[in-house]
């Protein structure tokens, strides 16, 4: 390959690969978005002044972001609405105040970019909105500040509504909200275990601040991509250990109608802390743990005896306080499970951050075939790391002793 060809190849941007399905989805979304925005704008505003555009060109650039990159910070609702409104206002103001259209266009675009960056609503198509307000012709100039509402405001709101409906209907979450900080299940101020080592959000923020350029990806998406890359790298290094290799297969289970006395006896007899709850028809339906027993004991969360008004009424009427008697009364029904072929690295986040101590393993029919505990996970991770450390590097030759 010649130097010229190599240089030209480097000019092609390194865009992340997408599937054929995603390309078709994005294309269809842009078609629907522009079509609906144009038709509804025409019906809402009418065609009283044919010279005033009812669908402005910058909406085409907005469609690229909204349907091809819906997670981009530049494609979020505030970016679209705020950016377009600010740019339209600045563009109209510059067109009225500056006589030379070329100078007015340059000033409008530059001030629009500065204002959008300051207001946190940077939207690249808004630069074209500011330019359109200056160079759009007599009809746009006559509209004055009304141009901000129609067509800019109406177009922006309509294409946002279409993007919200289409993206969510086709499996793409929109808008991309900043995720809430994960709560520590132990109710302490410590960060979650997976956020104490490796790349943490503070590291990303520091690096992005040092990079000091606009990056077209939100920090939470970048953090998630790095996290998934770390898991994939561990899969490669650890030989892709699966739950099937480390799970306990002789699992003690109970049914929903099993008495609490019997369930407690099994926990003590097997020296375990959890029992999967199964039925013949549905397979895994829950899990009962020592924590469930503690939560439903005679002591409330404040450390006092649990004896409420309802219990007092039952005693007055000659009844007995209502107490749980079977596993179904106290079990956790929303239980996470894994498949035998699930990589153990994928169990680290729920077990480390969510406080899960046991992960039932089920087959394709939701039948319990094993269980992975934190002890199993730690042993497997330690063994994988030990084997990796014991393997000599391929390029290492015999080492001479140094006196």
Q: Per residue of the chain (403 residues), what is the pLDDT tens digit?
A: 678 888 888 888 878 888 999 999 999 999 999 999 999 988 877 655 556 778 999 999 999 999 999 999 999 999 999 999 999 999 999 999 999 999 999 999 999 999 999 999 999 999 999 999 999 999 899 999 999 998 999 999 999 999 999 999 999 999 998 776 666 555 666 666 666 556 777 788 888 888 888 888 888 888 878 877 776 776 665 557 888 888 989 999 999 999 998 999 999 999 888 999 999 999 999 999 988 888 776 444 444 445 455 555 554 555 544 567 899 988 989 899 999 998 887 887 788 777 788 899 999 999 999 999 888 887 777 665 555 555 554 445 444 433 3
* pLDDT at residue 274 in the model: 92
Q: Angle at which helices 101-119 and 124-135 pack, to 10 degrees?
A: 150
Q: How many CB atoms lie within 10 A of CB 231?
A: 14
* pLDDT at residue 215 in the model: 84
**CA–CA–CA angle 68, 70, 74 (5° rounding):** 105
Q: Which pTM was predicted?
A: 0.63
User: Domains in the chain, please, with CATH?
Assistant: 17-169 (no CATH), 178-238 (no CATH), 244-296+325-390 (3.10.580.10)
* pLDDT at residue 239 in the model: 55
Query: How far is the CA of 113 from the CAs of 75, 109, 189, 212, in angstroms?
Result: 15, 6, 40, 16
| Whole-angstrom distance, CA of residue 77 vs CA of residue 89 | 18
Q: Which residues of 185-223 are buried (b: 16+ CB within 10 A; e: fewer)?
A: eeeeeeebebbeeeeeeeeeeeeeeeeeeeeeebeeebb
Contact, 104 vs 63, CB < 8 A?
no
* pLDDT at residue 293 in the model: 85
* pLDDT at residue 299 in the model: 45
Give φ, ψ of 180 to 5 degrees.
-70, 150
* pLDDT at residue 339 in the model: 94
Query: How far is the CA of 236 from the CAs of 34, 224, 389, in angstroms?
Result: 44, 19, 14
* pLDDT at residue 391 in the model: 55
* pLDDT at residue 209 in the model: 86
Give the side-chain half-sphere CA count within 13 A for 288.
Answer: 29
Q: What kind and span of H or E run contains 133?
A: helix 124-135
| Whole-angstrom distance, CA of residue 349 vs CA of residue 360 | 15
For the chain, the helix, strand and coil percentages under 3-state DSSP, each to the nearest 5: 55, 10, 35
């Amino acid at each position: 390959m010649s130097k010229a060809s190599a240089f030209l190849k480097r000019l092609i941007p390194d865009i992340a690969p997408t599937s054929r399905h995603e390309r078709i989805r994005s294309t269809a979304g842009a078609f629907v978005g522009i079509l609906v925005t144009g038709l509804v704008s025409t019906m809402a505003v009418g065609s009283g002044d044919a010279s005033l555009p009812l669908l402005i060109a910058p909406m085409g650039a907005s469609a690229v972001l909204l349907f091809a990159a819906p997670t981009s910070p530049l494609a979020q609702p505030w970016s679209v609405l705020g950016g377009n409104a600010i740019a339209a206002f600045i563009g109209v103001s510059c067109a009225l105040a500056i006589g030379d259209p070329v100078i007015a266009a340059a000033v409008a675009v530059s001030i629009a970019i500065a204002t959008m960056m300051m207001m946190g609503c940077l939207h690249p198509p808004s630069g074209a909105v500011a330019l359109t307000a200056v160079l759009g012709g007599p009809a746009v100039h006559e509209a004055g500040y009304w141009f901000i509402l129609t067509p800019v405001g109406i177009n922006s709101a309509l294409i946002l509504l279409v993007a919200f409906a289409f993206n969510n209907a086709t499996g793409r979450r929109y808008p991309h909200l900043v995720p809430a900080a994960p709560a520590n299940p132990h109710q302490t101020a410590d960060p979650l275990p997976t956020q104490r080592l490796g790349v943490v959000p503070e590291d990303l923020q520091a690096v992005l601040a040092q990079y000091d350029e606009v990056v077209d990806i939100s920090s939470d998406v970048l953090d998630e991509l790095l996290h998934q890359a770390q898991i994939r790298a561990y899969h490669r290094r650890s030989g892709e250990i699966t739950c099937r290799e480390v799970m306990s297969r002789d699992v003690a289970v109970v049914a929903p109608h099993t008495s609490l006395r019997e369930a407690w006896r099994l926990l003590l007899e097997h020296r375990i802390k959890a029992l999967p709850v199964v039925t013949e028809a549905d397979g895994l339906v829950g899990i009962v743990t020592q924590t469930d027993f503690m939560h439903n004991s005679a002591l409330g969360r404040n450390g006092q005896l649990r004896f409420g008004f309802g219990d007092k009424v039952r005693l007055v009427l000659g009844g007995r306080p209502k107490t749980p008697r079977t596993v179904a009364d106290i079990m956790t029904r929303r239980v996470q499970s894994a498949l035998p072929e699930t990589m153990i690295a994928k169990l680290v986040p729920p077990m480390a951050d969510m406080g899960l101590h046991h992960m039932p393993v089920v087959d394709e029919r939701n039948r319990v075939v094993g269980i992975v505990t934190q002890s199993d996970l730690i042993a497997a991770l330690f063994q994988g790391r030990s084997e990796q450390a014991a393997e000599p590097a391929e390029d290492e030759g015999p080492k001479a002793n140094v006196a």
